[in-house]
């Protein structure tokens, strides 16, 4: 039985297979409409989510399966003091596969050690978010046509943003990817990513503070929200939350084919006037997220269509 904890749990070849399957699902949805008849997905969300949870549920429903779960710690037995390990042992009797989001780094890993069903990490604290990464990879591959030979700017909260940590881990495995990290000093990429992921792979990167200085050299701009819930004090959050606002003037400095991605939810970091720019693909990204999660469920349940 396989789980998905980190984007590195799949080899580059396995990622390509999942993305190929997701693309086939996109083209031939009817072929997969009953692939998971009789199967149940549990969504165990100890932390708020709109997209990720509903995207998993939509994915399972489009495969013909059923879903159950909870959407906050307060509405689960966690509020009575039940451990993640006990909860997953019980859920293993109710469902065939589960997606778990938790504010504590490593909680889905703890669950996977005792689980009788595949566990998917749907975001653990400021750590990893592998299914968002698969979504990002599918968006880039589908709209740019490749995952290698790209310059990607990651902008915003690079310290607490788990989507950034997972995406960097995944992209260092492709040839000639240049990273430009754009953040205020306080929200720079964590040193463990710098040392264990970038330096360890001899990866070229640069760190800057001003988006305007580098936007013109990017093929992709990955914007992120300042992660309010992971700040230790309100004052710092208020000072940093509107550090970047991508607007029309900044888009005018970008290449005509630079794509703007965002894992969403967006707060103020992208002005709504950018939404109609054909280079803004963050809502398309949401749709790719459903195809990718469908492909992932089929892969982990070993269902062949
Ligand atoms: C992200 C997350 O939860 O880490 N959202 C998502 O899953 N699409 C990004 C965020 O919350 O800022």
Cα separation, 7 vs 296, in Å, equals 12
Q: If pLDDT is split at 50, 70 and 90, which confidence band does 204 have?
A: confident
Tell me if residue 153 falls in helix, strand or coil.
strand
Mean pLDDT is lowest, of 161-175, 177-191, 228-242, for 228-242
For the residues 181-190, what does the mean pLDDT come to? Answer: 96
The closest-lying atom of ligand 1 relative to the alpha carbon of residue 224 is 12
Q: If pLDDT is split at 50, 70 and 90, which confidence band does 48 have?
A: confident
279 is catalytic: no
80 is catalytic: yes
Of 3, 101, 102, 165, which is the active-site residue? 101
Please determine, for residue 212, whether its predicted confidence score (pLDDT) is greater than 90: yes
For the residues 148-177, what does the mean pLDDT come to? Answer: 97
Q: If pLDDT is split at 50, 70 and 90, which confidence band does 139 have?
A: very high
For the residues 6-14, what does the mean pLDDT come to? Answer: 97
Q: If pLDDT is split at 50, 70 and 90, which confidence band does 209 have?
A: very high
pLDDT at position 224, please? 98
54: left (phi > 0), else alpha (psi -120 to 50), else beta?
alpha
In tens, the pLDDT along 53-100 reads: 999 999 999 999 999 999 998 888 888 889 999 999 999 999 999 999
Binding residues for L-aspartate: 80, 162, 225
Chain CA centroid to CA 82, Å: 27
Fold agreement between 7-127+286-300 and 130-285: yes
**Pocket around ligand 1: residues whose beta carbon is below 6 Å from it?**
51-52, 123, 129, 132, 162-163, 225, 263-265
165 is catalytic: no
Please give the CATH architecture assigned to the domain spanning 130-285: 3-Layer(aba) Sandwich (3.40)
Of 39, 53, 102, 129, which is the active-site residue? 129
Residue nearest to atom 11 of ligand 1 (CA): 265
Binding residues for carbamoyl phosphate: 51-52, 101, 129, 132, 264-265
Tell me how far the alpha carbon of residue 52 lies from the centroid of ligand 1, in angstroms: 8
Residue nearest to atom 6 of ligand 1 (CA): 263
Q: CA nearest 225: which of 266, 184, 177?
A: 266
User: What Cα–Cα distance (Å) separates residue 217 from each residue in 142, 167, 211, 258, 277?
Assistant: 21, 19, 11, 9, 18
Cα separation, 24 vs 210, in Å, equals 40
C-beta separation of 4 from 300 below 8 A: yes
pTM to 2 decimal places: 0.96
Report the chain's mean pLDDT, rounded to a whole number. 96
Q: If pLDDT is split at 50, 70 and 90, which confidence band does 232 have?
A: confident
Cα-Cα-Cα-Cα dihedral sign, residues 234, 240, 242, 245: negative
Per-state percent for the chain, helix, strand, coil, to nearest 5:
45, 15, 35
For the residues 106-114, what does the mean pLDDT come to? Answer: 97
Q: Where are the domains of the chain?
A: 7-127+286-300, 130-285
User: Of all residues in the chain, what percent carry a pLDDT higher than 90?
Assistant: 93
> To test ligand 1's pocket by mutation, which of 100, 264, 288 has the most ligand atoms within 8 angstroms of CB?
264
Q: Which residue has the tokens 């349940």?
A: 301
pLDDT at position 255, please? 98
Tell me how far the alpha carbon of residue 47 lies from the centroid of ligand 1, in angstroms: 11
DSSP state, 181? E
C-alpha angle 39/41/45, rounded to 5°? 170
Specify the CATH number for 7-127+286-300; select among 3.40.50.1370, 3.40.50.620, 3.30.70.270, 3.20.20.300. Answer: 3.40.50.1370
Six token digits for residue 250? 């900044």
Chain CA centroid to CA 270, Å: 18
pLDDT at position 25, please? 98
194 is catalytic: no
Angle (deg, nearest 10), helices 107-114 and 84-91: 50
152: left (phi > 0), else alpha (psi -120 to 50), else beta?
beta
C-beta separation of 281 from 295 below 8 A: no
179: left (phi > 0), else alpha (psi -120 to 50), else beta?
beta
pLDDT at position 77, please? 83
Six token digits for residue 76? 């689960």
């Amino acid at each position: 039985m396989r789980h998905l904890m980190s984007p590195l749990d799949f080899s580059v070849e396995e990622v390509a297979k999942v993305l190929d399957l997701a693309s086939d699902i996109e083209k031939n949805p009817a072929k997969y409409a009953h692939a998971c008849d009789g199967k149940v997905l549990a969504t165990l969300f100890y932390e708020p989510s709109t997209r990720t949870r509903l995207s998993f549920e939509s994915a399972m429903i489009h495969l013909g399966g059923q879903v159950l779960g909870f959407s906050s710690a307060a509405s689960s037995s966690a509020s009575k003091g039940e451990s993640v390990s006990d909860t997953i042992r019980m859920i293993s009797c109710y469902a065939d596969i589960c997606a778990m989001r938790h504010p504590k780094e490593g909680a889905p890993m703890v669950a996977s050690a005792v689980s009788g069903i595949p566990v998917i990490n749907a975001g653990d604290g400021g750590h990893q978010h592998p299914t968002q990464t698969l979504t990002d990879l599918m968006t880039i591959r589908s709209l740019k046509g490749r995952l290698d030979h790209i310059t990607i700017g990651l902008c915003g909260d690079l310290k607490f943003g788990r989507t950034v940590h997972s995406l960097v881990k995944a992209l260092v495995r492709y040839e000639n990817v240049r990273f430009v990290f754009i953040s205020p000093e306080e929200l720079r990429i964590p040193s463990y990513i710098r040392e264990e992921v970038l330096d360890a792979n001899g990866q070229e990167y640069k760190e800057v503070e001003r988006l305007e200085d580098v936007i013109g050299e990017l093929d992709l701009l990955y914007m992120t929200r300042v992660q309010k819930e992971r700040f230790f004090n309100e004052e710092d959050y208020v000072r940093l939350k509107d550090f970047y606002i991508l607007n029309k003037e900044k888009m005018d400095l970008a290449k005509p084919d630079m794509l703007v991605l965002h894992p969403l939810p967006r707060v103020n970091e992208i002005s709504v006037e950018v939404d109609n720019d054909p280079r803004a693909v963050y809502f398309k990204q949401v749709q790719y997220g459903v195809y990718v999660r469908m492909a992932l469920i089929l892969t982990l349940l070993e269902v062949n269509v």
